[in-house]
Amino acid sequence: MKLGFIGCGNMAQAMMGGIIAGNLIPADEIIASDGYKPSLEKTKENLGIHITMDNKEVAVNSELIVLSIKPQFYDVVIKEIAPIIKEDTIIITIAPGKTLEDLENQFGKKVKIVRTMPNTPAMVGEGMTAMCANDLVAEKEMKEVKGILEGFGRVEMVPEYVMDAVVAVSGSSPAYVFMFIEALADGAVLQGMDRAQARIFAAQSVLGSAKMVLETKLHPAELKDMVCSPAGTTIEAVKTLEDRGFRSAVIQAMDSCAKRCKDM
Ligand SMILES: NC(=O)C1=CN([C@@H]2O[C@H](COP(=O)(O)OP(=O)(O)OC[C@H]3O[C@@H](n4cnc5c(N)ncnc54)[C@H](O)[C@@H]3O)[C@@H](O)[C@H]2O)C=CC1
Ligand SMILES: O=C(O)[C@@H]1CCC=N1
């Protein structure tokens, strides 16, 4: 399957890297376009893909086209490629807030569309991607696309109405997790630990905790209870986090995130 990317930034490079490393599609069957030449040239050097500054070249040469531009450029790019894409081409979108219906209207004709929401951990093969599609995409095509997306992490099929929740819980959440890791490292530095070492301790603890949730299948509350000894150190920290509205801050942040999706 020939794969094209329109927009060759962070997400496109992360997705291509995983797909090529997983031998899902060879680099010489992948083409990417971008308005910024240095970024294209760097990607060609790193991944060995074909590059072009002409979005139409991607549109006519790809069976699968990923729209990996920022949401504000969707309109201009869709106008450019809508007249020339073939009937069986599958469009993959990765933008928040762009519904299947919006996109069908923008294309102004019957087009196969798979709406997805990946995240930047795709760069290290640990992405979390949600996907759904319009009626024109056959089940077999969905499976093929899913297989390709699995090249850079885990993939779940979801009903479209949860896509804003997906943006809040996985598309955007790496930013909050990085803030948490940074804060953990700051806390360790405050207690006298060296900065570089603090970052390793913080990140490895987050990685290990996430793995415990996925591998033990225990409820996070149960895992938290296993750390809190009676009259111990952890419960003191938990009390302070509760006093400072830790959970409420996270939930409210996600609510703002989902609201922004609806406005896009
Ligand atoms: N960064 C993230 O964590 C995530 C981003 N997304 C979505 O992925 C999409 C891309 O985001 P990023 O890769 O972060 O952005 P980015 O800014 O790194 O990449 C976008 C690229 O598009 C290029 N571009 C702009 N206008 C163009 C045009 N008319 N034709 C061709 N190329 C053009 C830019 O030069 C840039 O290289 C966005 O829709 C974003 O919402 C989705 C999930 C996570
Ligand atoms: O901040 C954004 O709009 C994009 C979508 C998900 C992650 N980054």
Q: For the segment 170-192, what is each residue's pLDDT rounded down to a tens digit?
A: 999 999 999 999 999 999 999 99
What's the Cα-to-Cα distance from 59 to each of 55, 84, 104, 246, rounded to whole Å?
Answer: 6, 7, 16, 46
| Per-residue model confidence (pLDDT) at position 264 | 85
The b/e string for 119-149 (b: 16+ C-beta within 10 A; e otherwise) is: bbbbbeebbbbbbbbbeebeeebbebbbebb
Which residues face 130 on adjacent strands?
117, 156
pLDDT tens for 236-254 read 999 999 999 999 999 999 9
pLDDT at 1 over 80: no
Q: Which of 67, 69, 167 to mutate to test the pocket of ligand 2 (most atoms within 8 A of CB)?
A: 167
What is the pLDDT, as a whole number, of residue 216? 97
Is the ipTM value over 0.95, yes or no?
yes
State the pLDDT at residue 162.
97
Non-local (6+) Cβ contacts of 156 within 8 A are 128, 129, 130, 131
The tens digit of pLDDT for each residue in 54-109 reads 999 999 999 999 999 999 999 999 999 999 999 999 999 999 999 999 999 999 99
Which pLDDT does position 226 carry in this prediction?
Answer: 98
**Neighbour-count burial for 171-190, b at 16+ CB within 10 Å, e otherwise:** bbbbeeeeeebeebbeebee
Q: Which of 126, 161, 196 is where one domain is finished?
A: 161
The reply to whether 45 falls in a domain is yes
Average pLDDT, the chain: 96
What is the pTM assigned to this prediction? 0.96
Binding site annotation covers 91? no
Do 181 and 136 lie in one domain? The reply is no
Is any ligand 2 atom within 6 A of the Cβ of residue 18? no
What range defines the domain where residue 193 resides? 173-263
Question: How far apart (Å, rounded) are the C-alpha atoms in residues 264 and 251?
Answer: 20
Q: 201 forms bridges with which residues in the sheet?
A: none
Confidence band for 165, pLDDT divided at 50, 70 and 90: very high
The answer to whether residues 110 and 192 belong to one domain is no
> Alpha carbon 111 to chain centroid distance?
23
Q: Are residues 135 and 248 in the same domain?
A: no
Mean pLDDT for the stretch of residues 23-27: 93
Closest listed ligand to the CA of 115: 1
Atom nearest to 80 CA in ligand 1: 29
Looking at the structure, tell me whether residues 34 and 114 fall in a common domain: yes
What mean pLDDT comes out for the span 195-208? 98
Q: Tell me the ligand closest to 260's alpha carbon.
A: 2
